[in-house]
Chain A
């Protein structure tokens, strides 16, 4: 493989705004034809970085090179030929037509005393074709919908015929269909025209699913820069964004995806610090009934396990995403003795057993048997009786009978999962 040309190189970049350091010693380089996403919370310096690379902001320390040349030696028109920015939003002061707006992208190529030439018109119509706005080329920009407007702005940037496209949250105020449409356009420009794409996306998943490399920015510094597989994980997201997330895999694309975990404990005034981290809790799973409890207890800091769950059950996904130990059974099969024994092992080593409002059939009846054994051996059992047992008994009364015995034997009954934490 031939060595690719460095199209952008940033060295020891510092930038302060009113004595606040916005960017702190940023160094990185980008090869031609890359697709890079910059992720970071608001105020991490993402937009500042874009504005510095496009020379809209000045007064930085360090060095920025585009196309191998220091931007300090380039005038604004030269830079606009190499770097095109796609902003989040543009609002022209006058009612220009779509074609007029797109033609403004040719500004770097037209001399002050010159006029638009044939080449300019060709490039403009090419850009309008790629963004599918030719049919309304003569309509007023102000009369378009948000998605259409953004396509016009995209065409304007394409008319700059630049090798770098800098995307500054270009789709953040658009609906998901437009976000996908734009992402496909970016990908195709990247592949077919070898355009280097450097983007700020407010949707983390959109970014990690499509870019080759990701830069995580935190408080004006590069936290990490590398492939999504290497740098996106629960810890890095937690550290950069301060939010608790699952990092799972998209079942279709097999790519990473990030999903927020809301900590219900916070809402109920029980902080992680007060939770007894050594208290082991085992939760009976099935049909997704255990997922909210697993999330609640896990995020509150307890040591949680779960079983027995069938493969393909939502509770299993939850357990896997949270990294909770679990006992599993083949899909749609009754619980085998092996699994039941494993489950009992977990129960024995736990301090508290929680029985959420699981639906019982003959297949998972043995889970109820395991709970009965637990309470008989003196374990603390909490039953979440959110739904009447009669409605979730599909065994013809067997489950209901055993369930009532568990309660009679001294299980703590709560009416909703909200009350579980207080009873632990």
Chain B
């Protein structure tokens, strides 16, 4: 039975897939680099291993392309994917609803509105090397989440229905406000739309270094609440009878999932379906136990977004497609196929 061993088994398989994908993704692009050379360059980054690897006779241009252009983007996409899928698992678990995704309580609309303001009105360079767009997107996401959360909580209790409804309402309002700005600033239209469609074009190790540790820490903290999340799926009252501090756990998980989603959105724009579909697919494979589902979905989210982003930047080379388009066009039919194939209740 041991959930621990089962989790490790799944994680190892997923990590192997992820590593292979990283190498493949790093080798393809405008400049072709062989898989062998790519592997060597990547390995040279691993402490301990780099002593045994000599990359001096490789093309220095390839080394720069892979280490400074492709790898940051690859790892950023992995961590954005991890963030989206983790937030998706938590929101679906808390809402006991298959339609829940990381943006369900208005994070995306808030981020889009914030980003629009940043793009249109503030033309500074940004803070600590991060663009104003990103900072305003993060602010927009956090303020919206906070608003939705305060509307729905009364006397220490959070009403899930109110949360969903106020999230939808606030999202609708913010989207209209974004559209309003877009009408009057037609020359910024393309920039705004491109941001909203989501993409990882402006990736850098700097961005990665900021988002990755935060996402890891947040996922680790929330990981300790997965047993509680399992029980909360029986309903708040039953969970309380089984000794779960439902209100506290829900609050902690809501805040963490919103933070994770806000981080992802502010870095990459609105990338849909990863956070919705990845937990579903993993639930079909590993079952509904969040202790297994959460870590495996996180890694799988990284795989899904890495694959999508690689497609997005290579499929119409040299042109790039916003990754959000790929996740929807490829992800949705695959998901529908799984639904039809399994023919049983996913939930």
Contacts and interface: CB of A to CB of B under 8 A. Distances in A.
Interface of A: 51, 54-56, 75-81, 84-85, 87, 90-97, 99-101, 104-105, 107-108, 110, 112-113, 115-116, 121, 142, 156, 160
A107 B241 contact: no
Interface stretch (B24-32, B268-276, B283-291): B283-291
A19 to B, nearest CB: 15
A90 B234 CA distance: 6
A54 B289 CA distance: 26
A97 B287 contact: yes
Nearest to A113: B224
B242 A104 contact: yes
A113 B288 CA distance: 20
A317 to B, nearest CB: 44
Contacts of A75: 245
A112 B229 CA distance: 12
The winner among B233, B240, B289 for most chain A CB atoms within 10 A is B240
Given A96-B289, A100-B230, A79 B235 contact: no
A97 B288 CA distance: 9
Nearest to B241: A85
Contacts of A92: 233-234
B160 to A, nearest CB: 11
A77 B231 CA distance: 13
A110 B227 contact: yes
Given A95-B345, A95-B347, A97-B287, A76 B240 contact: yes
Contact of A107 (B97, B233, B242): B242
A104 B233 CA distance: 11
Given A96-B289, A97-B287, A112-B224, A91 B244 contact: no
A96 B230 contact: yes
Contact of A94 (B228, B233, B237, B238): B233
Contacts of A80: 241-243
A105 B242 contact: yes
Contacts of A55: 240
B238 A87 contact: yes
Contacts of B241: 54, 56, 80, 84-85, 87
Contacts of A112: 224-225, 227
Interface residues of B, number: 31
Interface in B314-347: 345-347
Contacts of B240: 54-56, 76
12 contacts: A51-B237, A56-B237, A76-B243, A80-B242, A93-B347, A94-B283, A95-B288, A100-B287, A100-B288, A107-B244, A115-B2, A115-B4
B4 A104 contact: no
Given A93-B347, A100-B289, A76 B233 contact: no
Contacts of B3: 115-116
| Chain B contact residues, majority secondary structure | loop
The winner among B233, B234, B346 for most chain A CB atoms within 10 A is B234
B96 interface: yes
Interface in B190-245: 224-225, 227-228, 230-231, 233-235, 237-238, 240-245
Given A56-B237, A121-B1, A108 B289 contact: no
Interface string B90-122: 000100110000000000000000000000000
A107 B289 contact: no
B96 A107 contact: no
Nearest to B97: A93
A90 B345 contact: no
A307 B4 CA distance: 78
A56 B245 CA distance: 10
A94 B243 contact: no
Contacts of B96: 93-94
A97 B346 CA distance: 13
Contact of A160 (B233, B242, B289): B242
Given A78-B243, A96-B230, 9 more contacts: A54-B240, A75-B245, A77-B243, A85-B241, A93-B96, A93-B234, A100-B289, A104-B230, A104-B242
A358 to B, nearest CB: 57
Contacts of A97: 287
Contacts of A56: 237, 240-241
Given A107-B243, A108-B243, A93 B233 contact: yes
Given A94-B347, A96-B230, A76 B245 contact: yes
A80 B235 CA distance: 16
Contacts of A84: 241
Contact of A91 (B93, B228, B235): B235
A100 B3 CA distance: 10
